């Protein structure tokens, strides 16, 4: 079965700093999703990647999928307190999304 591993598990950064979260799959990714979740709340869709080498950006967040389609990264530029939360990657399979373990991001002033 496919597994996703995220790193780091937890990240504490100062406001204004850049950061990167990684998501590694045990199998080839055919659809990779990034979500953000505030504690105990719903999942907010960020981006979806499908093609090897694909890169998408939205505001200060950029996500990339490597050429081999087994690893994705999420990069935040000039972090702000509003970026705080749990970031989840999800891999699309035939019948479900498989989620990574999540990365908890804290941004302090």
Partner 1 sequence: EAQVTQNPRYLITVTGKKLTVTCSQNMNHEYMSWYRQDPGLGLRQIYYSMNVEVTDKGDVPEGYKVSRKEKRNFPLILESPSPNQTSLYFCASRTGGGYGYTFGSGTRLTVV
**Angle ∠(61,42,58) on CA atoms, nearest 5:** 15
- Judged by CB under 8 A, the number of residues near partner 1 is 19
> What character string, x for contact with partner 1 (CB under 8 A) and - otherwise, covers 22-41?
---------x-x-x----xx
When binding is defined by CB under 8 A, the residue of 34, 89, 91, 100 that contacts partner 1 is 100
The yes or no reply on residue 13 touching partner 1 (CB under 8 A) is no
The yes or no reply on residue 92 touching partner 1 (CB under 8 A) is yes
- Which residues sit opposite 3 in a β-bridge? none
Tokens of 35: 């979500």
Contact call for residues 23 and 6 (beta carbons, < 8 A): yes
Tokens of 49: 């990647």
Residues that bind partner 1 (CB under 8 A): 31, 33, 35, 40-43, 45, 48, 88, 90, 92, 95-97, 99-102
């Amino acid at each position: 079965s496919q597994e996703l591993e995220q790193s780091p598990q937890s990240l504490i950064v100062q406001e204004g700093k850049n950061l990167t979260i990684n998501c590694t799959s045990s199998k080839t990714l055919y659809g990779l999703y990034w979500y953000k979740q505030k504690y105990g709340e719903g999942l907010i869709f960020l981006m979806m990647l499908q093609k090897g080498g694909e890169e998408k950006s939205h505001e200060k967040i950029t996500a990339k999928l490597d050429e081999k389609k087994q690893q994705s990264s999420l990069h935040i530029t000039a972090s702000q307190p509003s970026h705080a939360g749990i970031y989840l990657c999800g891999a699309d399979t035939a019948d479900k999304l498989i989620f990574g373990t999540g990365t908890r991001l804290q941004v302090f002033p």
